[in-house]
Amino acid sequence: MANFGRSNVATYTYIWSIQNYTRPPNLNLQSPSFTVDSIEKTKWCLVLHVNKYCVLCYIKRLADNSILKSMELNFELTVLAADGSPFKDQRGAYFHINHQSKLVKLIDNSVFEERRAEFLPKDTLTIRCQIWRRESEVLTTDLCFARTQLKLVRRSFLWPVEKFRWLRYGQIKTYNLQSDPTREPRMTLNLYLEEDNDSLHLEISVLGEKWCNIGGEVAVVDVEGKVLFRAAVGFQSNLNERNISLPLRLSKEQLMDDQDRNVPNGVLLLRCSFDIFVGIDSSRIEYCSQASSKKEENLAISEDTYDFDETPASCSDSCNLKKALGNLYKDGAYSDITLRADKESFQVHKNILSARSPMFKAMFSSDMMEKDRSTIDLLDLDGVTLRRLLFYIYTDTLKDLPWEEAVDLFRAADEYGLVDLKKRCSQRMKANLNKANVCDILYVADMHHDEALILTAKDFIFEERQLLFDSKEWKLFKNNNEQLASEILEYVALIIDKN
Spatial contact of 75 and 57, defined as CB atoms under 8 Å apart: no
Quote the pLDDT of residue 330: 84
Helix (H) or strand (E) holding 289: none
Long-range contacts: 112-118, Cβ < 8 Å, 24+?
A: 112/24, 117/82, 118/81, 118/82
What are the backbone dihedrals phi and psi of residue 422, each rounded to the nearest 5 degrees, phi first? -60, -40
Q: Show the domains of the chain with their CATH numbers.
A: 12-140 (2.60.210.10), 153-280 (2.60.210.10), 320-497 (3.30.710.10)
Q: Spell out where 164-226 has E strands.
A: 173-177, 186-193, 199-207, 212-221
Dihedral sign from CA coordinates of 467, 469, 474, 476:
negative
Q: Which of 205, 202, 182 has the alpha carbon at shortest distance from 193?
A: 202
So what's the pLDDT on residue 64? 82
Question: Are 104 and 139 in contact, with CB atoms under 8 Å apart?
Answer: no
Sign, CA dihedral 203-204-205-210, equals negative
If we measure between CA atoms, which residue out of 488, 459, 412, 126 comes closest to residue 304?
A: 459
Burial class (CB in 10 A: 0-12, 13-18, 19+), 182: exposed
The pair phi, psi for residue 476, each rounded to 5°, is -65, -45
Per the DSSP assignment, residues forming a β-bridge with 19 are: 149
Strand partners, 161: 268
C-alpha span between 264 and 161 (Å, rounded): 11
Handedness of CA 105, 109, 113, 118 (dihedral sign): positive
Nearest to 214 by CA among 150, 275, 271, 153: 275
- Asked if 74 and 94 touch (Cβ cutoff 8 Å), the reply is yes
Q: What is the pTM of this model?
A: 0.75
Supply the DSSP string of 388-413, one letter for each residue: HHHHHHHH----S--HHHHHHHHHHH
- Please name the residues in contact with 318: beta carbons below 8 A apart, sequence gap of 6 or more: none
- Residue 334 and residue 349 in contact, taking contact as beta carbons nearer than 8 Å: yes
User: What pLDDT score does 305 carry?
Assistant: 43
pLDDT in tens, the chain (499 residues): 444 444 456 688 999 999 999 866 677 899 999 998 888 888 899 999 988 889 999 998 888 887 777 777 788 899 999 999 998 755 556 666 657 778 889 999 889 888 999 999 999 999 999 988 766 665 668 899 999 999 888 899 999 999 998 999 999 999 998 777 667 788 899 999 987 778 999 999 887 666 778 888 999 999 999 999 988 887 777 655 577 888 888 899 999 999 999 999 999 999 999 988 888 889 999 998 875 555 554 555 554 543 433 444 344 556 788 888 888 888 888 888 899 998 899 999 999 999 999 999 988 886 665 556 788 889 889 999 999 999 999 999 887 788 889 999 999 999 999 999 999 899 889 888 899 999 999 999 999 999 889 999 999 999 999 999 999 999 999 999 999 999 999 999 999 886 4
Cα separation of 68 and 133, whole Å?
13
- State the Cα–Cα distance between residues 237 and 243, nearest whole angstrom: 7
Position 3 scores a pLDDT of 44
Q: How far apart are CA 494 and CA 54, in angstroms?
A: 10
C-alpha dist (Å) from residue 155 to 149, 178, 179: 18, 10, 9
Length of the chain: 499
How far is 173 from 269, CA to CA, in rounded Å? Answer: 12
In 314-385, DSSP assigns E strands to 337-341, 344-348, 375-377
